[in-house]
Chains A and B, each alone.
Chain A
Amino acid sequence: MQITVNGEGRDVEAGLTVAGLLGVFGLPERKVAIERNREIVPKSTYADTALADGDKIEIVAFVGGG
């Protein structure tokens, strides 16, 4: 299925969870926050939240700033 992650289209396997998506990128859960179609995905639900075709995902982290 096709999803958008941080503004870029990507092909991922059907049924992939949010936790699975982080696994694809090798990103640790504790360092990021995720939005799915403009809704926050709570960390406690990453393993149970299955992505759907057309989802728009944002993965963000803290960076240096003033």
Chain B
Amino acid sequence: MDGFERRVEDKPFTVAGRTFTSRLIVGTGKYADFAENAACAEAAGAEVVTVAVRRVNLTDPTQPMLVDHVSPERFTFLPNTAGCYTGEDAVRTLRLAREAGGWDLVKLEVLSDPKTLYPDVFETMRALEMLVKDGFQVMVYTTSDPVTAKRMEEAGAAAIMPLGAPIGSGLGLQNPLDIRLIVEQSEVPVVVDAGVGTASDAALAMELGCDAVLMNSAIAEAREPVRMAQAMKHAVVAGREAYLAGRMPRRMYADPSSPLAGLI
């Protein structure tokens, strides 16, 4: 489980043919205003931001929009299907997103119940198959069950995005073993999506060998969001470096670092 026994290769984070330097994907929800949102995306060093698709407010259509502050030229927009509970709703939403943005890289999430926001993996799988057939590159939010993850990879997912804990819970990774098993079996990138609460959670995800981490609330709900965005940037880099470096073995008992020979 520690990974120290084998050397790991430093592969770039490449999804659907697109290579990113940053391994931190950030959401754009829950911010006090667009300015803070943009400042946090910059501070996080993010290259990819998730966005939702919603009806335009027609009572005040001139009010500022997300794209006026978080530019699609500066960031790769990853449209999501948050709030969708059926495969059909998710596909409909992403077809609109593709028309709005003109790109086919999307984040699929099909939810089950509002209390846990756990993914409905059966509906998710149906939607995944429809989207793949329709030419989308689909990053899939799913449970951390390695069997489900494998099935989704086989169905053509561009990335597997297991949850670490419920969306917005900030509980940290409740399932390091499952995440590690998914990392070991996957040929496509693995991105922990949901559950990160603070920097050490993000570092742990990366130490387990994930290709990237996706978070929103952990930054947006921090007392100082921009500072937390910076912390997350460092945590993701540190976790990745630690994964590549290979941690020391765990021992039951102490092992002195200073030589025993030459003691006076």
Residues on A close to B: CB < 8 A?
Answer: 5-8, 25-27, 31-35, 38, 40-43, 58-66
Contact = CB atoms under 8 A, between A and B. Distances in A.
Nearest to A62: B51
A60 B54 contact: yes
Contacts of B215: 66
A62 B58 contact: no
A3 B37 CA distance: 36
A64 B30 contact: yes
A9 B259 CA distance: 83
Contacts of B168: 66
Interface string B61-92: 11001110000000001011010000000001
Nearest to B34: A64
Nearest to A5: B58
Interface centre among A7, A41, A62 (most CB of B within 10 A): A62
B55 A58 contact: yes
Contacts of A60: 53-56, 96, 100
Interface residues of B, number: 37
Contact of A61 (B27, B56, B80, B217): B56
Interface of B is mostly: mixed
Interface of B: 27-31, 34, 37, 50-56, 58, 61-62, 65-67, 77, 79-80, 82, 92, 95-97, 99-101, 167-168, 214-217
A64 B51 contact: yes
A12 to B, nearest CB: 13
Contact of A40 (B62, B95, B101): B95
A5 B167 CA distance: 32
Given A25-B58, A27-B61, A62 B101 contact: yes
B238 to A, nearest CB: 23
A62 B52 contact: yes
A31 B65 contact: yes
A63 B63 CA distance: 12
Contacts of B27: 64-66
A32 B51 contact: no
30 contacts: A8-B58, A25-B58, A26-B61, A27-B56, A31-B65, A33-B97, A40-B95, A42-B99, A58-B96, A59-B58, A60-B96, A61-B53, A61-B54, A61-B56, A61-B66, A61-B100, A62-B51, A62-B53, A62-B66, A62-B100, A63-B51, A63-B53, A64-B34, A65-B51, A65-B80, A66-B28, A66-B50, A66-B82, A66-B167, A66-B215
